[in-house]
Amino acid sequence: MPGSDAAFRVVFVCTGNICRSPMAEVVFRWFADQAGMADRVISSSAGTGDWHVGERADLRTLEALTRHGYDGSRHRARQFSLDDFDRNDLIVALDRSHERALSEWARTPTDADKLSLLLPFDSRGDGVLDVPDPYYGSSEMFDEVLGMIESACRALFRQLEPAIRP
């Protein structure tokens, strides 16, 4: 596996790494923790752009996470780098624009094979492919987006769990 240990590594990618991808990182980590697999599954997140590098997640993201029992306080935004292809087993885009950018950055077929969209993991998603960007929306929209991410991360974790359980 890509990392120096036997952990399965997944990175969630959105635009600025302050709204959607931090939510996915925190939620996916929570599922791993609850399954007793915190040492076997490592989640991170990144943005396709560099606008917010070093910043905390958007306050509305942090508030939505807190309202739903998660802690996003440790998050600091970073930009996706080519090294992320080497460090991670799975690269999950939050919408098709991110998937296109990541596909363009993939250096090899192996890099490209690691790419996936998040929402298709959730069979209840009614064919919706993109997690909407809540940045210009209300606090309620952040809660709605978090709900979509929770459902899709739950489905993704359930799919991966048998393969990564010791």
| Three-class secondary structure of residue 57 per DSSP | coil
Look up the CATH number of the domain holding residue 111: 3.40.50.2300
Q: What are phi and psi of 48, to 5 degrees?
A: -75, -25
| pLDDT tens-digit series, residues 46-59 | 999 999 999 999 99
d(CA 16, CA 6): 29
Q: How many domains does the chain have?
A: 1
Residue with structure tokens 């996706």?
Answer: 80
Three-class SS state of 75 = coil
153 is catalytic: no
Q: Which domain holds residue 104?
A: 8-164
Closest CA to 116 of 98, 135, 134: 98
Q: What is the CA 80 to chain-centroid distance, rounded? A: 12
Structural domain contains residue 2 = no
Catalytic residue among 40, 56, 87, 133: 133
Q: Which of 20, 29, 60, 78 is catalytic?
A: 20
Residue type, 90: L
Q: Which two tokens stand for residue 27?
A: 């939620």
19 is catalytic: no
Residue 36 placed within a domain: yes
Say whether 133 is catalytic.
yes
Q: What is the pLDDT of residues 62-102, one digit of tens each?
A: 999 999 999 999 999 999 999 999 999 999 999 999 999 99
**pLDDT value at residue 6:** 83
Whether the CB-CB separation of 79 and 50 falls below 8 Å is answered with: yes
Residue 3 lies in a domain: no
Which residue of the set 14, 60, 84, 95 is catalytic?
A: 14
Dump pLDDT digits (tens) for 121-136.
Answer: 998 878 899 999 999 9
